[in-house]
Chains A and B, each alone.
Chain A
Amino acid sequence: MSASKAAASPPRRRVSPLRYVMPGIVLFWLAMTFIGHAVAPYSGAAIQDADLFEGMSRKFLLGTDYLGRDMLSRILEGARFTVGISLAATALAVGAGLLLALTASAVGGLVDQVLSRFLDALISIPSKMFGLVVVAAFGASIPVLIITMAIIYVPGCYRINRAAAVNIAALDFVAVARSRGESTFYIMLREILPNMVGTTLADFGLRFIYVVLLLSSLSFLGLGVQPPDADWGSLVRENMPGLPYGAPAVLMPALAIASLTIAVNLSIDAFYGSRRAREGVH
């Protein structure tokens, strides 16, 4: 009818509570990684005086598992594995990816080409497949899991960081530094790296999500964290028999995973607002 119809959506400010809630959830699980054992109401390993697959109650806030153990305690204690292993693998992957990317774009030439070719070929092995093959060959121990997942995600990190580094290296201020006679090291560290912080951090968050999901999937298949240790994926697996009864023991650990990954995802959105970074990346 009027001009406002002809125009796009009216300007509106997006005030988002996500900005505070979501990072809060991430921080909570990070804290649980270190103090989960201390704050758990019971010992996760202790079989309580309760029925199997009990529902939620005041005594057992998230019910009990297939042996009658307290689920809340088991989830809080499981954070150490899910968050801890994922964090270690992500840090390794992003660190290695960033280092290789900076080296490739600084040295250029043959080193860049060989690295890029090799890592690009590696990316064409789907992540779960890579995980399964390694577990079949080496068995599943925590160091194997961390290293495997780090290797799986190095090519993706490399690709993102190299693209960012190459784009920045093509900008005029880098040419200015080069024409001044600055060393390659100075240019990487002072001119290029500061402009990559946003990209690398956002990538770190996304990689972390992928790693959490991959680890959980492997554990769910019984090929990840092995008993007596239990991460959230293992918790879902061992309690699957409770599914027909609708026991909270099945859903609660899965929801814990979802709460972590969703919170990380939305926190990245809140800070960087770039959804593009996530599209077409794995």
Chain B
Amino acid sequence: MAPLIEIRDLRVEARGDDGQPVEIVKGVSFTVERGEVMGLIGESGSGKTTIALALMGYARFGCRISGGTVRIGDTEVTGLSEAALRKLRGRRVAYIAQSAAASFNPSRTIMQQVIEAARIHGTLDEAAAREKAIGLFRAMAIPKAETIGERYPHQVSGGQLQRLMAAMALITDPEVVIFDEPTTALDVTTQIEVLKAFKSAIRDRNTTGIYVTHDLAVIAQIADSITVLRHGFVQETAKTGMLLASPAQEYTRNLLAAAEPARRERPALVETAAPLLKVTGLTVGYGGLDAEGMPLVPVVREVDLAIRQGEALGVIGESGCGKSTLARAISGLAPPARGTVELGGKVLGPGLAQRSREELREIQLVFQSADTALNPRVSIGEIIGRPLTFFFGLKGAERDRRVRELLDLTHLPASVLNRQPGDLSGGQKQRVNLARALAAKPRLLLCDEVTSALDTLVAAAILDLLAELRKELGLTTMFISHDLKTIRAICDQVLVLYAGRVVETLPASAISARGHHPYAKLLFSSVPALHQGWLDGLAAPAMPASATEAQGREGCTFFHRCELRMEGTCDRIVPPPRQTPEGLTVACHHPLEG
């Protein structure tokens, strides 16, 4: 039997900055059998989303399909008129986008949008479509399946919207479903629930699918075959098991290595009596203070932590857990309402204004996005040179020599000196960002999601650089990330943050042995492993996330999502941190397992 989808020599052009057409998909071919899922994987600029959209005969504004053929069943998609394409889209081929929040029309109810395709294509009447939609909501394990359709998109959480969008795609029983990075914007504990819903929907319906992602571990759970893309070319196509076990291409091998980053080499710690950084009872928030001097909207609550000289502490947590605010409070950018920050035994002032220049120099914060952290109007030489002048009074040739040393240290060519940030690649910009912080010769380096905005391979190179810097300079670092694998690769200790509170502190080597705190457990077990069948092997889902997150002053912040919660205790009393024999610190009322 002929494959259901056949793409031959597909080419897509975009209009470049100079107005000249630039090919962004350069002759891509692959086939997908009926009932199979093909994974398209690649870094940004690989053309993966463009190819997926071309399956529906669609090209984004400024792009056009310039050559090749796309066949679905008996239909030559590339030869269809606009009217015939409309009949194909949403009926025979359906699309699930990356950001559900942006892909739902804010002015229409969810139900109106979910059944829209069925109504447009006339596959079902209004009542039957609604009934079918509610059935799909149930199949996707969406809570309140009967009534959720009457809500508006902004009234529903991101993870639920993503599943609602899958229901929207499946309403017409399409032959092909395109998944375009559908879980990338989600937190890892939410991603797992959505992935499970997708997987069972695909299995139950024998769906033919195209799954686009940059995450190999995710695609290994869903796809039967994988096509690796780079710069608009196919690198290789293979069955998922084959590709993971024995990749044919060097590039694929690099991707695999970066997807499961190895523990980087780390210097041996010098045991000193007092830690370099000591944070006690730190509470930060906004919205003014209440009668007790606590912020009305606390973001970080009563955090204690310590980092020894030369140590790397990882801080992990989902978006909004307060990890960036913690770093800003330590650096003095966000003065805390309560608590103290001590560096080298000396208590620092709460805000920038209360700290001396020397104290400011000793703590350097590296921001996540080099795009906004580097002034686009200033040359690289001046960006790195300014701290040298500001802190050490270096000028002229002496400053120049030191800037070149720093470029060397961060593996940047001297040719970038007179360029501006806009002329540099993403990885280069992040190196400049690091070099500027190092120019101040800090005692403590705070890295806020420094690899998150980068492509997998570029991020891996930055991790290598950080490990190298630690070894050469003996840097003490606090490394903030939402990505467990990154933290594990370069940190000694890990601190798990949930809703502004530290729920667990543990050695990085103990991560795989699973945390003790229920949230840490959920978090660690939600990170997809790079082998097939990991998703199927997971235990039943933990208690689903409640729509209303705990923000009260009393009780455990994880109460509403915890499967071990004890009414009357956990919602009343903040659990105190307790030491375990293995050297973990856990903040949970529940008796600790061995």
Indicate if A touches B (C-beta under 8 A): yes
Query: Is B377 within 8 A of A11, CB to CB?
Result: no
Query: Is A172 within 8 A of B65, CB to CB?
Result: no
Question: Nearest Cβ distance between residue B399 and chain A, in whole angstroms?
Answer: 16
Contact with B along A1-16 (1 / 0, CB 8 A): 1111111101111100
**B contacts with A, residue count (CB < 8 A):** 49
Query: Is A194 within 8 A of B15, CB to CB?
Result: no
**Which of A5, A8, A175 sits near B367, CB closer than 8 Å?**
A175
* Contact residues in A for B16 (Cβ distance below 8 Å): 11
If A194-B378, A195-B375 touch, does A180 touch B58 (CB 8 Å cutoff)? Answer: no
Q: Is B39 an interface residue (CB 8 A)?
A: no
If A13-B20, A179-B365 touch, does A5 touch B78 (CB 8 Å cutoff)? Answer: no
Q: Is B138 an interface residue (CB 8 A)?
A: no
Q: Is B481 an interface residue (CB 8 A)?
A: no
**Which of A7, A11, A181, A191 sits near B65, CB closer than 8 Å?**
A7
Query: Is B61 within 8 A of A191, CB to CB?
Result: no
* Contact residues in A for B82 (Cβ distance below 8 Å): 5-6
If A176-B373, A181-B352 touch, does A7 touch B59 (CB 8 Å cutoff)? Answer: yes
Give Cα A207–Cα B48 distance, bound, in whole angstroms: 45
Question: Nearest Cβ distance between residue A5 and chain B, in whole angstroms?
Answer: 6
Give Cα A2–Cα B82 distance, bound, in whole angstroms: 9
Query: Is B21 within 8 A of A11, CB to CB?
Result: yes
* Contact residues in A for B369 (Cβ distance below 8 Å): 172
Q: Is A173 an interface residue (CB 8 A)?
A: yes
Question: Nearest Cβ distance between residue B262 and chain A, in whole angstroms?
Answer: 30
* Contact residues in A for B387 (Cβ distance below 8 Å): 180
- Smallest Cβ-Cβ distance to A195: which chain B residue: B377
Query: Is A176 within 8 A of B62, CB to CB?
Result: no
Q: Is B381 an interface residue (CB 8 A)?
A: no
Query: Is B61 within 8 A of A1, CB to CB?
Result: no
Query: Is B357 within 8 A of A181, CB to CB?
Result: yes
Question: Nearest Cβ distance between residue A2 and chain B, in whole angstroms?
Answer: 6
Give Cα A251–Cα B390 distance, bound, in whole angstroms: 61
* Contact residues in B for A11 (Cβ distance below 8 Å): 13-16, 19-21, 62, 64
8 A Cβ contacts from A198-240 to B: none
* Contact residues in A for B58 (Cβ distance below 8 Å): 6
- Smallest Cβ-Cβ distance to B363: which chain A residue: A179
Q: Is A282 an interface residue (CB 8 A)?
A: no
Give Cα A180–Cα B362 distance, bound, in whole angstroms: 10
Query: Is A194 within 8 A of B375, CB to CB?
Result: yes
Query: Is B81 within 8 A of A173, CB to CB?
Result: no
**Which of A6, A14, A175, A179 sits near B85, CB closer than 8 Å?**
A6
* Contact residues in A for B352 (Cβ distance below 8 Å): 178-179, 181
Query: Is A3 within 8 A of B66, CB to CB?
Result: yes
Give Cα A14–Cα B391 distance, bound, in whole angstroms: 49
Query: Is B62 within 8 A of A8, CB to CB?
Result: yes
8 A Cβ contacts from A1-54 to B: 1-8, 10-14
Q: Is B63 an interface residue (CB 8 A)?
A: yes
Question: Nearest Cβ distance between residue A237 and chain B, in whole angstroms?
Answer: 45
Query: Is B19 within 8 A of A8, CB to CB?
Result: no
- Smallest Cβ-Cβ distance to B375: which chain A residue: A173
Give Cα A6–Cα B59 distance, bound, in whole angstroms: 7
Q: Is B374 an interface residue (CB 8 A)?
A: yes
* Contact residues in B for A194 (Cβ distance below 8 Å): 375, 377-378
8 A Cβ contacts from B32-81 to A: 57-66, 78-81
If A7-B65, A8-B64, A179-B352 touch, does A172 touch B377 (CB 8 Å cutoff)? Answer: no
Give Cα A175–Cα B436 distance, bound, in whole angstroms: 13
Q: Is A133 an interface residue (CB 8 A)?
A: no
- Smallest Cβ-Cβ distance to A168: which chain B residue: B375
Give Cα A14–Cα B16 distance, bound, in whole angstroms: 12
Query: Is A10 within 8 A of B64, CB to CB?
Result: yes
* Contact residues in A for B333 (Cβ distance below 8 Å): 175, 178-179
Query: Is B360 within 8 A of A191, CB to CB?
Result: no
Query: Is B65 within 8 A of A182, CB to CB?
Result: no
Q: Is B283 an interface residue (CB 8 A)?
A: no
Query: Is B19 within 8 A of A14, CB to CB?
Result: yes
* Contact residues in A for B81 (Cβ distance below 8 Å): 1, 5
If A11-B13, A175-B367, A181-B360 touch, does A3 touch B64 (CB 8 Å cutoff)? Answer: yes
Q: Is A121 an interface residue (CB 8 A)?
A: no
- Smallest Cβ-Cβ distance to B59: which chain A residue: A7
Q: Is A129 an interface residue (CB 8 A)?
A: no
Contact with A along B350-393 (1 / 0, CB 8 A): 00100101001100010111001111111000000011001100
**Which of A3, A5, A176, A179 sits near B332, CB closer than 8 Å?**
A179
Q: Is B183 an interface residue (CB 8 A)?
A: no
If A11-B15, A176-B373, A180-B360 touch, does A3 touch B61 (CB 8 Å cutoff)? Answer: no
Query: Is B20 within 8 A of A180, CB to CB?
Result: no
Q: Is A137 an interface residue (CB 8 A)?
A: no
Question: Nearest Cβ distance between residue B323 and chain A, in whole angstroms?
Answer: 16
**Which of A6, A13, A172, A180 sits near B373, CB closer than 8 Å?**
A172
Among B14, B16, B19: residue with most chain A CB under 10 A:
B19
Question: Nearest Cβ distance between residue B478 and chain A, in whole angstroms?
Answer: 15
Give Cα A245–Cα B85 distance, bound, in whole angstroms: 60
Query: Is A180 within 8 A of B375, CB to CB?
Result: no
* Contact residues in A for B21 (Cβ distance below 8 Å): 11
Query: Is B65 within 8 A of A179, CB to CB?
Result: no
**Which of B13, B78, B372 sits near A2, CB closer than 8 Å?**
B78
Query: Is A180 within 8 A of B332, CB to CB?
Result: no
Give Cα A182–Cα B390 distance, bound, in whole angstroms: 8
* Contact residues in B for A14 (Cβ distance below 8 Å): 19
Among B61, B62, B372: residue with most chain A CB under 10 A:
B372
**Which of A1, A7, A8, A180 sits near B440, CB closer than 8 Å?**
A180
Question: Nearest Cβ distance between residue A191 and chain B, in whole angstroms?
Answer: 6
Q: Is B18 an interface residue (CB 8 A)?
A: yes
- Smallest Cβ-Cβ distance to A175: which chain B residue: B333
Question: Nearest Cβ distance between residue A70 and chain B, in whole angstroms?
Answer: 46
Q: Is B331 an interface residue (CB 8 A)?
A: yes
Q: Is A171 an interface residue (CB 8 A)?
A: yes
Query: Is A173 within 8 A of B374, CB to CB?
Result: yes
Q: List 28 A-B contacts (CB under 8 A).
A: A1-B79, A3-B65, A3-B78, A4-B64, A5-B81, A6-B58, A7-B63, A7-B64, A8-B60, A11-B16, A11-B21, A11-B64, A13-B19, A172-B368, A172-B372, A173-B374, A175-B333, A175-B365, A178-B333, A179-B333, A180-B360, A180-B387, A181-B390, A182-B390, A190-B378, A191-B375, A194-B375, A194-B378
Q: A6-B59, A180-B361 are known; give 13 further A-B pairs, CB within 8 A.
A: A3-B57, A3-B64, A5-B82, A6-B64, A7-B59, A7-B63, A12-B15, A173-B374, A175-B365, A179-B331, A180-B390, A195-B375, A195-B377
Q: Which 8 A-B pairs have the closest CB atoms?
A: A7-B64, A13-B19, A3-B65, A11-B15, A194-B377, A172-B373, A7-B59, A172-B367
Task: Give B residues with C-beta under 8 Å from A.
Answer: 13-16, 18-21, 57-66, 78-82, 85, 331-333, 352, 355, 357, 360-361, 365, 367-369, 372-378, 386-387, 390-391, 436, 440
Task: Give A residues with C-beta under 8 Å from B.
Answer: 1-8, 10-14, 171-173, 175-176, 178-182, 190-191, 194-195
